[in-house]
């Protein structure tokens, strides 16, 4: 399936969002950097360190993939060594003073976004190493935009807040939520539901965007945009769907209060939910 136009739009929106985030970070006081966040035991500076290192990791992994290498980023010898390096680097970056952290975030993010923008569309399906599994490079592109939007929400640390608001552009959220069409297929295959077969549709109630994913045991298939005949349909706003699928809103609580509507085969719904709705 050709996702070229969607990915190019995502790259440009990601560029806009990281520039906005860098400006926001430069407005932080020492108290802002030390404030708790939605992420347990992480301060704002630690979350910023995490997303900054994430950009550097993605750039390294994508460059390796483009050379046909699926080894660990930064020359790590094995997965455990990389994870230790990841934790240490994120802490090191998060310990920088505010202006230095904002500068490091902007420089590393500019590098990875420029790398994405330089890609030929044929590169989007090139495999690259990620700690979860080997993903096509297009997954790294989608993830960067999600990281900026979702981690800003984490830093603001107001669980009653919608994802789109005065700071985050509504169209950025709409594009990130639209990209869940690719996310669903890729992430279902990480932890598929044994024996499950069915079609699951997703409706973004505020944008009108509708797509479906077909699952058969360990395979997920993107059925494209539009009407389908699903076994179940999940309906929520674009922002809420992003928060739900990344574990930031409780599924059952949102079903109870109407922020998430689920219609269809409840047995299949319960089998499907843990494969996609979990913390990221």
Quick check: is 176 in a domain? no
pLDDT band at 162 (very low <50, low <70, confident <90, very high): confident
Report percent pLDDT > 90 for the chain.
82
* pTM (predicted TM-score): 0.93
The Cα 243–Cα 248 span in angstroms is: 5
| CATH number of 269's domain | 3.30.1050.10
CA angle 148/153/154 to nearest 5° reads 95
Report which of 209, 61, 198 is spatially closest to residue 139, judged by C-alpha positions: 61
Is residue 167's pLDDT more than 70?
A: no
pLDDT at residue 23 in the model: 95
Residues 61 and 146 in one domain: yes
Asked, for residue 268, whether it belongs to a domain, the answer is yes
Q: Do 148 and 188 share a structural domain?
A: no
Instruction: Give me the pLDDT at residue 200, please.
Output: 97
Q: How far apart (Å, rounded) are the C-alpha atoms in residues 173 and 166?
A: 12
Residues 148 and 19 in one domain: yes
Whether residues 141 and 205 share a domain: the answer is no
Residue 269 pLDDT exceeds 80: yes
Q: SS3 of 220, please? A: strand
pLDDT computed for residue 117 by the predictor: 98
> What is the model's pLDDT at position 134?
94
Residues 143 and 203 in one domain: no
Mean pLDDT of the chain: 93
Domain shared by 22 and 100, yes or no: yes
86 pLDDT exceeds 90? Answer: no
- Model confidence pLDDT, tens digit, residues 40-61: 989 999 999 999 999 999 999 9
**How far is the CA of 261 from the CAs of 181, 220, 239, 280, in angstroms?**
18, 22, 14, 22
Evaluate if residue 257 carries a pLDDT over 90: yes
- Whether residue 149 lies inside any domain: the answer is yes
Last residue of a domain, one of 105, 125, 160: 160
Domain residues for 77? 4-160
149 and 218 share a domain?
no
Checking if the pLDDT of 78 tops 70, the result is yes
For residue 175, is it within any domain?
A: no
Whether residue 237 sits in one domain with residue 190: yes
- Does 133 lie in the same domain as 234? no
Q: In total, how many domains does the chain have?
A: 2
Assign 1 a pLDDT band (cuts: 50, 70, 90): confident
Mean pLDDT over 64-82 rounds to: 92
Residue 226 lies in a domain: yes
Q: What is the pLDDT of residues 111-123, one digit of tens each?
A: 999 999 999 999 9
pLDDT at residue 235 above 70? yes
Is residue 167 situated within a structural domain? no
* Per-residue pLDDT tens over the stretch 180-190: 999 998 889 99
Is 9 inside a domain boundary?
Answer: yes
Give me the pLDDT at residue 96, please.
94
- Distance between CA atoms of 84 and 90, rounded to whole angstroms? 10
- Which single residue is written with the structure tokens 């219609």? 263
Query: What is the CATH classification number for the domain harbouring 45?
Result: 1.20.120.450
Do 135 and 15 sit in the same domain of this protein? yes
Residues 29 and 147 in one domain: yes
Residue 17 covered by a domain: yes
Query: 129-147 pLDDT, tens per residue?
Result: 998 899 999 999 999 999 9
% of the chain exceeding 70 in pLDDT: 98
Confidence of residue 170 (pLDDT cuts 50, 70, 90): confident
The whole-number pLDDT of residue 31 equals 97
Count the Cβ atoms, other than its own, within 10 Å of residue 185.
19
As a whole number, mean pLDDT of residues 206-224 equals 93
- For residues 153 and 199, membership in a common domain is answered with no
- Confidence at 165, pLDDT banded by 50, 70, 90: low
């Amino acid at each position: 399936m050709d996702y070229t136009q969607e990915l190019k739009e995502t790259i440009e929106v990601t560029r806009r969002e990281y520039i906005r985030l860098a400006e926001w970070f430069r407005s932080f006081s020492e108290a802002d950097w030390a404030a708790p966040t939605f992420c347990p035991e992480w301060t704002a500076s630690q979350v910023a360190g995490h997303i900054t290192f994430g950009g550097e990791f993605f750039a390294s992994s994508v460059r390796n993939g483009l050379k046909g290498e699926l080894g660990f980023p930064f020359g790590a010898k094995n997965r455990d060594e990389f994870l230790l390096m990841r934790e240490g680097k994120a802490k090191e970056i998060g310990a920088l003073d505010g202006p230095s952290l904002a500068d490091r975030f902007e420089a590393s993010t500019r590098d990875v976004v420029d790398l994405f923008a330089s890609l030929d569309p044929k590169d989007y399906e090139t495999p690259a190493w990620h700690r979860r599994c080997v993903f096509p490079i297009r997954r790294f592109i989608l993830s960067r935009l999600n990281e900026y939007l979702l981690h800003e929400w984490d830093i603001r640390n107001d669980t009653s807040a919608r994802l789109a608001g005065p700071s985050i552009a509504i169209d950025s959220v709409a594009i990130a939520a639209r990209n869940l069409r690719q996310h669903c297929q890729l992430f279902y295959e990480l932890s598929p539901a044994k024996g499950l077969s069915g079609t699951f549709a997703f409706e973004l109630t505020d944008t009108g965007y509708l797509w479906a994913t077909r699952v058969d045991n360990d395979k997920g298939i993107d059925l494209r945009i539009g009407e389908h005949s699903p076994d179940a349909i999940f309906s929520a706003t674009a922002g809420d769907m992003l928060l739900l699928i990344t574990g930031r809103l409780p599924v059952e609580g949102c079903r109870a209060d109407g922020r998430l509507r689920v219609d269809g085969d409840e047995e299949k719904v319960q089998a499907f939910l843990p494969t996609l709705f979990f913390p990221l």
